[in-house]
Structure 1
């Protein structure tokens, strides 16, 4: 059963990557503008002082304008730093322009590196995703970093994923280790889930 689910996930991820690569520049710009507005609305409504978020890669929904907005308002942002052992360290970037390439070619900030425990102090977690189901299940990109992190937290703050509208779907293939999210932000709005 797990092999079947794993195979379905791998095929779906390939399809989603392909779809993201075929988006036009105009579609990406419009999505970025709407996503930024909704992320600002989410954070403003929660009145947070710190959060964990990620630097979006080339074909991911663009979180960078939102991150710049948060940084300018003095919100402390922890960014994930991938480790070979499957855990995430965290870095606080004081310079939103400086970044490096981490494991798997993903962008990571340049800054002081903190331990995996640092995430326990944030008020909100913003995660990437491949798809989110209408019940709040998250399908990631297959490395398991965020599932492991979220599954190990004693007291987890609200977790919101960011995806394009077409990636917010009725259901996603799910395995035992997959972690749900509290909400999803898409270009069309903020969608919250009740547990």
Structure 2
């Protein structure tokens, strides 16, 4: 399947998921965050049908981690970042339905301070290829990540697939975070 076909399929599957199942998965992802290593974690606020919730961000903060959240730029380019200071410090972002931190912007290069980066994804394959929504924000941003930073895609367990189409600019994930498996490495050893 092409990337567009994968996106259509997974988006439809996410829309058909029951609210109770989304809530269960969000609680499981937040619980799994208790084992996430690192002092600085770049994360994101899930929106729409993305797995997870603000509970995961609060779990990270409760562990005294510095949590960075992305801010979508007005023009195509890398993501900007700001510190997450709690739910009351979030406001509407540029994209409809997206919440972003309203605090001081720290710049795109702040991503290099993160030990671990949680990345939204529609699917991840056995080799660590990530399928995003197609806007390219993370592809333009991950070049600023520190060498050795863990790149962890957050997906539902059913969104782990054998193989996805890959392009040279795609960054490979070093792991995934799923509701049932917690943190699991990529690539998969067969």
TM superposition score normalised by structure 1: 0.87
Structure 1 residue 101: Cα displacement: 2.5
Which among 28, 33, 53 is matched to residue 22 of structure 2? 28
The answer to whether the 8 A contact 2:129-2:164 is kept is yes
Which among 125, 130, 136 is matched to residue 144 of structure 1? 136
Please give the residue correspondences for 1:90-105 in structure 2 after superposition, counting only pairs within 5 Å: 90-105=81-96
The answer to whether the 8 A contact 1:120-1:156 is kept is no
Structure with the higher helix share, 1 or 2? 1
Aligned to 1:15: 9
Distance in 2 of aligned mates of 1:64 and 1:153: 23
Which digits, 9 at most, give the CA deviation of each residue in 1:85-116, with x for residues without a partner? 32111011223223222233222111111111
The answer to whether the 8 A contact 2:113-2:145 is kept is no
Which digits, 9 at most, give the CA deviation of each residue in 1:46-93, with x for residues without a partner? 2x2211000010211014211111122321111011111321110112
Which digits, 9 at most, give the CA deviation of each residue in 1:3-61, with x for residues without a partner? xx8xx2122212211211111122112212222222222x1xx2x22110000102110
Which among 161, 186, 189 is matched to residue 193 of structure 1? 186
Structure 1 residue 176: Cα displacement: 1.5
TM superposition score normalised by structure 2: 0.89
**CA RMSD for the aligned pairs?**
1.8
Distance in 1 of aligned mates of 2:63 and 2:146: 28
Aligned to 1:123: 115
Cα distance, 1:154–1:38 mapped onto 2, change above 3 Å:
closer
Aligned to 2:63: 73
**Which runs of no fewer than 5 residues in structure 2 stay unpaired?**
none
Which among 38, 51, 55 is matched to residue 45 of structure 2? 55
Distance in 2 of aligned mates of 1:140 and 1:34: 22
- Secondary structure of the 2:88 match is coil
Distance in 2 of aligned mates of 1:194 and 1:123: 19
Structure 1 residue 140: Cα displacement: 0.8
